[in-house]
Amino acid sequence: MNILIETIHSPYSGGRVGGAETSLRLIAEKMTENGHTVFFITKQQSKTLFGYSRKKIDGVEVITYSKFKFGILNRVRVKRILASLKTKHHKFLIKKNKVEIVHTYYNFSLLRKYVCFKKELDFKLIVRIAGLKLFEEIEKEGFRKKDQYVELFNKVDQFNFISKGLFDLFHLKMKEYDFDFRFNNYFIKDIGVNLNKEIHLKDIIISKKRLDIVMVARFSDYQKRQDILVDAIAKLKNHNIHLTLIGEGPNKRILKKQVEFLEIQEFISFKPFVKKEILWDNLKHYDLLVHACEYEGLSKMIIESMAYGLPVLVSDVSPLNTYIKDEQNGFLVANDISAWAQKIEKLYLNQSLFPNVIKNANHFIVKNYNADENVFIYENYFQTTLN
């Protein structure tokens, strides 16, 4: 198959990206390993001389756009001309290379572009759904946005939900927002984790005098709940527990002020996003990954931690509680400040629970989220969509 994948943020530039970009890159690389031709269109934040590069990375033809170093080329009028040229180039790329499958996520501008392309070009469009941000957009921009999404969704050939829990949650939201659409063609799967990576976390020390916990996530004004963790740590000042919050986002400044107000600076640290390789090197120094949220499609950070030997404590919310079982392959806690404080304290005092959970988590990931195995499932669904 000839496949084209596009993301808004580049998983190849070393910048900050989410699980969607990481997953789509992994799909691209595994598909290439299986003999398919894959083009990956993306955009990086840093400026370059030509605003464009094309190189083969791990077998994938990666086409990267960026802003220009020369400011005049970034002016609105010039950008419009360049955007038009870029659109023509994408069409040419699809036509010349006989692209059969375009795979992307449900970013509105990307959806609109490829739905428009389908009027002229012969390919199948497969769209990844990994969260509920669509409904946040409808909330902010009005119900006209809902109608636009429904119109675009009707032109999509296949949808990929990354978990059954998310599929169910998405449908509950559809009812809430009167989102008049039926998913007739879809499959439920996530590519998973690259288990070929050699990541060695530190050995677990039972009854360690200090518990170092970490959350790696965007400080968003929806979904993520680092604020619960901050308030929970404030209740645990009599224990030697330290929380590190890694990430960027609109709520970071608010949380820093919250930490100062509670006078718990010595118990909580803030760090920026770093490259994945550096991140995992840093995570060797932590004992527990925590993840407080309202919902989570399928956190790449969580399943990678489970795969590589870092125990996880997460909010007892859907879909997380569909694959994490408390004290079996991870730990669950109600989304409540007191509950979080009590659970963290329990794990601080009972670190002997960690080794068995780590072993079970690894077995669970190998069985369900091994990218080398899951790529065959993606191949099958892609081929079925073509047929």
3-state secondary structure of 258: helix
pLDDT of residue 200: 54
Summarize the confidence of residues 153-174 as an average pLDDT: 93
| Residue 18 belongs to a domain | yes
Whether 79 has a pLDDT exceeding 80, the answer reads no
Say which CATH number the domain at 66 has.
Answer: 3.40.50.2000
Q: Residues with Cβ < 8 Å from 27, sequence gap 6 or more?
A: 5, 103, 191, 375, 378
Q: Is the pLDDT of residue 76 over 70?
A: no
Average pLDDT over residues 361-386: 95
Instruction: Write down the pLDDT at residue 370.
Output: 94
Residue 203 lies in a domain: no
pLDDT at 142: 80
Whether 61 has a pLDDT exceeding 80, the answer reads: yes
**Does the structure show a pLDDT above 80 at 15?**
no
164 versus 70: the higher-pLDDT residue is 164
| Pair (69, 188) in one structural domain | yes
Domain holding 280, by residue range, is: 211-368
C-alpha to C-alpha distances, 116 to 74, 82, 246, 367, nearest whole angstrom: 25, 18, 39, 39
Cα 45 from Cα 72, distance rounded (Å)? 17
Q: Same domain, yes or no, for 225 and 184?
A: no
Q: What is the mean pLDDT of residues 168-183?
A: 91
Check: pTM over 0.95? Answer yes or no: no
For the ranges 48-57, 100-109, 130-139, which has the lowest average pLDDT?
Answer: 48-57
Residue 348 lies in a domain: yes
What pLDDT does residue 378 have? 97
Report how many domains make up the chain: 2
List Cα–Cα distances, 314 to 151, 179, 320, 327, 338, in angstroms.
36, 30, 8, 12, 14
Torsion of CA 337, 343, 347, 353, to 10 degrees: -150
The reply to whether 52 and 122 lie within a common domain is: yes
Is 278 among the domain residues? yes
335 token code pair = 């989304």
Same domain as 336, residue 326: yes
Q: Is the pLDDT of residue 104 over 60?
A: yes
CB 130 within 8 A of CB 297: yes
Q: How confident is the model at residue 295 (pLDDT cuts 50, 70, 90)?
A: confident
The whole-angstrom distance between residue 254's C-alpha and the CA centroid of its chain comes to 23
Q: Is residue 242 over pLDDT 90? A: yes
* φ/ψ (deg, to 5) at 6: -135, 140
Q: Are 187 and 254 members of one domain?
A: no
Burial of 225 (0-12, 13-18, 19+ CB in 10 A): buried
Residues 57 and 162 in one domain: yes
Q: Please check whether residues 172 and 266 belong to one and the same domain.
A: no
| Residue 28, domain member (yes or no) | yes
Query: If pLDDT is split at 50, 70 and 90, which confidence band does 201 have?
Result: low
Establish if 54 belongs to a structural domain: yes
What mean pLDDT do residues 192-200 have? Answer: 74
Q: Residue 198: is its pLDDT beyond 70?
A: no
DSSP characters over 140-170 = HH-HHHHHHHHHHHTT-SEEEES-HHHHHHH
Neighbour tally for 208: CB within 10 Å? 13
Does 345 share its domain with 377? no
Residue 204 in domain: no
Do 291 and 183 contact (CB within 8 A), yes or no?
A: no
**Between 259 and 277, residue with greater pLDDT:** 259
Cα(166)–Cα(114) distance, integer angstroms? 24
Q: Grade residue 202 by pLDDT with cuts at 50, 70 and 90.
A: low
Q: In what order do the strands lie in the sheet with 331-333?
A: 268-271, 241-246, 211-216, 288-291, 312-315, 331-333
Clarify whether residues 283 and 176 are in a common domain: no
Checking if the pLDDT of 207 tops 90, the result is no
For residue 274, the model assigns a pLDDT of: 81
Question: Are both 226 and 273 inside the same structural domain?
Answer: yes
pLDDT at 152 over 60: yes
Residues 131 and 230 placed together within one structural domain of the fold: no
Please check whether residues 382 and 355 belong to one and the same domain: no
Specify if 254 maps to a domain. Answer: yes
Q: 158-161 and 124-129 as β-strands: parallel, antiparallel, unpaired? A: parallel
Average pLDDT over residues 295-324: 90
State the average pLDDT for the chain: 89
* Phi and psi torsions of 281, nearest 5°: -65, -40
How many CB atoms within 10 Å of residue 54?
Answer: 10
Percent of the chain at pLDDT > 90 equals 64
Residue 190: name the closest of 154, 165, 173 by CA. Answer: 165
Q: Which two tokens stand for residue 280?
A: 């995992």
When mean pLDDT is compared across 10-24, 41-55, 92-106, 142-156, the lowest value belongs to 41-55
Distances (CA, A) of 333 to 326, 329, 342: 8, 14, 9
Q: How confident is the model at residue 81 (pLDDT cuts 50, 70, 90)?
A: low
Q: At residue 215, does pLDDT exceed 90? A: yes
